[in-house]
A = this chain, B = another copy of it.
Amino acid sequence: MKAKREALVSLFTAMREGKVDADIIDHLLLINSIRGIYTTSSCSGRIGIMEEPDLGAKPLARWLIKVHRPMEFEEAREALRNAEKGLIFLKSQPPIFHIVAEDVEKAKRLHELGLASGFKYTTFKVVSKRYLVEINATEYLTAPLGRDGRILVDDEYLRFAVDLGNDMLRRSKGRLPRLEEKFRALREELGEDELFYELAERYMIEENWKLP
């Protein structure tokens, strides 16, 4: 799989540059060590405050703060000082994994695995003959806080909404261990991928991380 080789090179490079969320590195290594599947962009779940210039203008959105762990109330309040233009949202988003499968049978297995791990928004797509499974959960919070630099909520509300977003993040991240277990079982079944170990050695991944 030429595409898997490229995906692995890109993952290992990003890891060495510190650009991969630490709390899903074990998952990403494990999944990519399995024959016939590999990950593309994935996220360990995050909470933050985003400014969107206009409804639906997502490409122009910018994060005032974004963290992959619960956010402190003070961090949120501080970040809001930098709001300038457009709609301001508090967003909490669950972990999300994008996994390519080489055939429809493996895509179905991944789909079942995601659902069985509590990721209820797990779906798949066919993109130019490749099967792309998205393992995704339902804990999405999109709370508008104001517009054009003006905050329309008070501190009590902000604390309430940040707490809620943090609870949702903890709940969704809490499923990561179960997901890991299921992938371990899948690996028993589908087998290890030699390509993964070959490239992991070339990129000296074992210097900093434990290989599955």
> Interface residues, chain A, CB within 8 Å of chain B?
55-56, 58, 87, 104, 107-108, 111, 122-126, 134, 138-144, 146-147, 152-154, 156-157, 160-161, 164, 167-168, 171
Could you tell me the distance in whole angstroms from the C-beta of A149 to the nearest C-beta in chain B?
Answer: 14
Number of copies: 2
Closest to A165 in B: B144
Q: Contacts A107-B126, A124-B124, A142-B142 given; 17 further ones with Cβ under 8 A?
A: A55-B164, A56-B138, A56-B139, A87-B164, A104-B104, A104-B126, A111-B126, A123-B123, A124-B125, A124-B126, A141-B144, A142-B143, A143-B143, A143-B144, A144-B164, A153-B153, A157-B157
Closest to A159 in B: B152
From the candidates B58, B123, B146, B168, name the one contacting A124 in the complex (CB within 8 A).
B123
A-B complex: 9 closest residue pairs judged by Cβ atoms: A123-B123, A152-B157, A143-B143, A142-B142, A108-B126, A144-B164, A144-B161, A141-B142, A152-B160
B143 touches A140 (CB 8 A): no
In Å, the complex CA distance between A139 and B58 comes to: 11
B156 touches A152 (CB 8 A): yes
What are some 10 contacts across the A-B interface (CB < 8 A)?
A: A55-B164, A55-B167, A104-B104, A104-B126, A123-B123, A124-B125, A140-B140, A142-B142, A142-B143, A157-B157
In Å, the complex CA distance between A171 and B55 comes to: 9
From the candidates B55, B107, B123, B138, name the one contacting A134 in the complex (CB within 8 A).
B123
From the candidates B122, B154, B171, name the one contacting A56 in the complex (CB within 8 A).
B171
In Å, the complex CA distance between A143 and B165 comes to: 11
Using Cβ atoms and an 8 Å threshold, which residues of chain B touch A140?
140, 142
In Å, the complex CA distance between A9 and B148 comes to: 51
In Å, the complex CA distance between A211 and B55 comes to: 36
